Structures are given as structure tokens and as C-alpha cells.
Amino acid sequence: MGRPRLSLPEVREMMIYVSRKMIESKDLLTQADKAVGDGDHGVGMARGFENVLKIVEQKELSSVEQIFMATGLAIMTSVGGAAGAVFGTFFRGASKNLQGAEDLTPAILSRMLQGGLQAVKKLGKASLGDKTMIDALEPAAMESLNQTSADLDEALAAVAEAARRGLEKTKGMVAKIGKAKNLGERSLGYPDPGALSTYLILNFMKEFVASL
């Protein structure tokens, strides 16, 4: 408890942990996507994070910005479909405005989530309530603003919890965008797979920091 920040090597370790856990979540995401989409989300995200793992492990990355930019590019160039564009853009957006930070602090985490949220909204034109990953990401980004003076483990716990609550709410939403839109009311009762991925990523970050 009470870790104010992660050093650069720790941020890299965190992304390796997140990647491994996302690859392990393949079946969970496949099942979630089969209910409302075409069932390729698990395979796509696993492929994306395998690529992240390779690049983050091998490439020389000398700032938080570079780690998230490399993560975004790795996802964007390997996943394809809507998920590749959205999650690639999230990490690329998250890497903007970090001004060469070499530590991950709650303030940097908040800037990351704001930057990622803005970039995804600009690209996908989705709003809260459309049953997309925005429904998990936006509450998480908002919560991060309240956590800038907390310790990093506390901040991540609060942010992941906000994403989880957002994810739960997507079960009661009718999809208004993407392939699930075509299900209309039939999408009710199921969580959005992109929101699930968003929650998982933040939750795995939390797990990593809590384990230190």
C-alpha cells in the first residue's frame, strides 16, 4: 500500500503483465462478443497484446509516452476491425501530453485517460450510453481527476472500480454503434465487449501495482 508512483522499468513491467493477462482473457472476451457481435474480439485482442508483449519486451523505450505510443501502434497494426482502431487510438491518445514523463503518477494516469478518451471519442463519435468502451472509459477518466493527490495504487483501484460500474451499466443499454447496433433490443442484458476490455486493462494495471 501507499505507492505514489511507478518508475519507468515498472511501467514496462506493468504493460507486460497487462498484455499477458489480456492474452489469457481471450475466451472470456470471445464469449462476451459472441452474445452481441461477431465473436472475434477475444482473438483480436489476444493477437494485439501478443504484439504489445513482443514490442514492449524488446524495444528500447525511454519514457512513459513512448511505452504507451508503442502499445497503441502494436495494437493498431495487428488487430484490425473496429477494436484495433479504438484500442490502438486509446493508447496513442493516452501517450499524448505526457511531456516526457519518466514516472507514472496519479496525475500522469489522469492525463493518460483524458487523452485516450478524447482521441477515441474524436475517432469513433460515440457518446456515453451508446454501449461502447466509452461507457467504461469515461467514468474511469472522470474518477481519475479526483485521485490526482492519492497514491497510485489507490488511484488505480478507484479508476478500475469506476470502469467496472460503467461496464455493468452497459448491460442495460441498447447498442447504438458498431456491429452490435444491428441487434437493437436484442443487445440488452449483455455487457459491451469493448467496455469489458477497457475494464480488464485498467483492472490488470491495478493488480500489478497492488502486487508490488
- The reply on whether position 27 binds another protein by CB under 8 A is no
- The reply on whether position 174 binds another protein by CB under 8 A is no
51 versus 110: smaller Cβ distance to another protein: 51
**What cell numbers appear for 209 in the block?**
501495482
**Helical pair 26-36 and 41-58, crossing angle rounded to 10 deg:** 140
- The reply on whether position 40 binds another protein by CB under 8 A is yes
Longest Cα pair distance anywhere in the chain, in angstroms?
48
Quick one: residue 129, left, alpha or beta (phi over 0 = left, psi -120 to 50 = alpha)? left
Q: Determine the interface stretch with another protein among 3-11, 141-149, 159-167, 171-179 (rule: CB under 8 A).
A: 171-179
Write each residue from 179 to 198 as x if it is in contact with another protein (CB under 8 A), else as -, in one continuous string.
x--xxx-x------------
Contact with another protein (CB under 8 A) among 15, 46, 52, 86: 86
Rg of the Cα atoms in the chain: 16
82 versus 104: smaller Cβ distance to another protein: 82
60 versus 185: smaller Cβ distance to another protein: 185
Helix, strand, or coil (residue 7): strand
76 versus 108: smaller Cβ distance to another protein: 76
DSSP string, 25-55: THHHHHHHHHHHS-S-HHHHHHHHHHHHHHH
34 versus 171: smaller Cβ distance to another protein: 34
Spatial CA neighbour of 52 closest among 95, 18, 29, 26: 18
Q: Catalog residues that contact another protein under the rule CB under 8 A.
A: 38-40, 44, 76-86, 88-89, 123-124, 177-179, 182-184, 186
